[in-house]
Amino acid sequence: MNNIPSVDLSDFLSDNHEKKQKFVDEIGKAYEEIGFVSLKNHFLSDELVADLYKEVKAFFALDLETKRKYEIEGLGGQRGYVSFGKEHAKGKKEGDLKEFWHFGQEPEANANLPEEYPDNVQVSELPKFNKVGMQAYRQLEKTGIYVLRALALYIGVDEFYFDHWAKNGNSILRPIHYPPITEEPKGAVRAGAHGDINLITLLMGASSGGLQVLRKDGEWMDAIPEEDELVINVGDMLERHTNNKLRSTIHRVVNPPREQWGKPRYSIPFFMHPRGDMDLSCMPECVDAEHPKAFDDITAGEFLHQRLVDIGLIKK
C-alpha cells in the first residue's frame, strides 16, 4: 500500500442500498487495516475552504504581540491562540514547530451537557475570521457525523448510535501554521509521531506535503489525498471504544527538504470529540474470545483530561 484508500461519501448518501453498503465496507476495512482514508464529496465547498485559508493566513500574519492577546490563560489551549512550540507529542520533550488556533463547539441551548464549554475567542482585527471559522466547523461536523453513521453500521449497531454523542460534542477546529524553518531543528519536527485523542479527525488539504502514516509493517507512508479530498483518521477514543477493531494509527508531519525550509505550511484539522459524558467502555459487539476487553472503562471527559496533561497543554 503506497497511499491511503479513497472513499466517496456520495455512495453513502445515495438511495442505492448497494452503494451505501459498499461505502460502509470500504471505510470499515480501511480503518481496520490502516486507520486512514481520503474522502471525496464532503460538505465543504471550495469557496468556503478558500475563505477559511484566507482568514487563517491573515491571522497568523499578525504580529506576535497581537496574537498573544488571544492566548487565554486557564483554558488549556482549548480556545483561541496557542503559541509556537507549546505543544509536544506524547512522550516527547521538544515542542512541535507550529502555532495554532482553536475554534470550539457552540452548543444548542437544550444540549443538557455535563460540562460548560468555554466561549470562542473573538478576533477584533479580522471581522470575518470567527464567522468563516464556525461555518467550516459546522460543515466538517456534518461530514463527521455521516462517517460515524457508516462506522456504526460496520460495527453492527444502530446507524445513529453516535449522533447524540457527536452533536454538541467537544469538537475542535484547529488551523495550524508551521512557519518557515530558519535553522537546523534540534530533534524537533513540525508534528511529532502521535495518535489523535478523539473519535475521528477530518483534515482539510494542507498547503504542502509532510503528513506520514505508520503502516503495520513499521514503514512510514506519505498520505497524499487529491486536492478536493479530506483525510479522515480514527482517534484513540474510537479505537478504545471498538476494542482495537478500528485503528488509531500513529502519524507525523515531517520537516520538508532543506530547499523548502523557507516555505510556511498551513493545515486545518477538525478533531471530532464526543460529549464528555460518553462512556468509552469497549462495545460488546467488539469483544469476544479472540478479542478480549483491552481497556479499562472511562468517560470521554476523563480520557481527554489525561491526554491534555500528556501533551503539555494543561497541568495535572
Look at residue 219 and tell me if it is in a domain: yes
Query: 14 is in which domain, residue-wise?
Result: 6-310
Summarised one tens digit per residue, pLDDT across range 107-135 is 999 999 988 999 999 999 999 999 999 99
pLDDT category at 267 given cuts 50, 70, 90 is: confident
Whole-angstrom CA distances from 305 to 110, 276, 292, 300 are 25, 10, 26, 9
- Residue that wins the pLDDT comparison between 261 and 209: 261
Amino acid at 269: P
Compute the average pLDDT of residues 141-166. 98
CATH number where 171 lies: 2.60.120.330
> Which one has a higher pLDDT value, 215 or 292?
292
Q: Which amino acid is at 119?
A: D
Do the domain assignments include residue 151? yes
> Could you tell me the pLDDT band of residue 6, with boundaries at 50, 70 and 90?
very high
Mean pLDDT of the chain: 89
| pLDDT value of residue 1 | 63
Domain membership of residue 316 (yes or no) is no
Residue 11 within any structural domain of the chain: yes
CA–CA distance, 270 with 272 (Å, rounded to integer): 6
Looking at per-residue pLDDT, the higher value among 76 and 279 belongs to: 279
Mean pLDDT of 232-246: 97
DSSP E strands in 195-264: the ranges are 200-204, 211-214, 220-222, 230-234, 251-253
Q: How confident is the model at residue 207 (pLDDT cuts 50, 70, 90)?
A: very low
Residue 90 covered by a domain: yes
Element holding 265 (H helix, E strand) = strand 265-272
- Number of structural domains the chain divides into: 1
Per-residue pLDDT at 93: 52
In this predicted structure, the answer to whether residue 225 has a pLDDT above a threshold of 60 is: yes
Check residues 73 and 151 and name the one with the higher pLDDT. 151
* pLDDT at position 214 over 70: yes
- Residue 1 is assigned to a structural domain of this protein: no
The pTM assigned to this predicted structure is 0.90
Query: Which three three-digit cell numbers place residue 11?
Result: 455512495
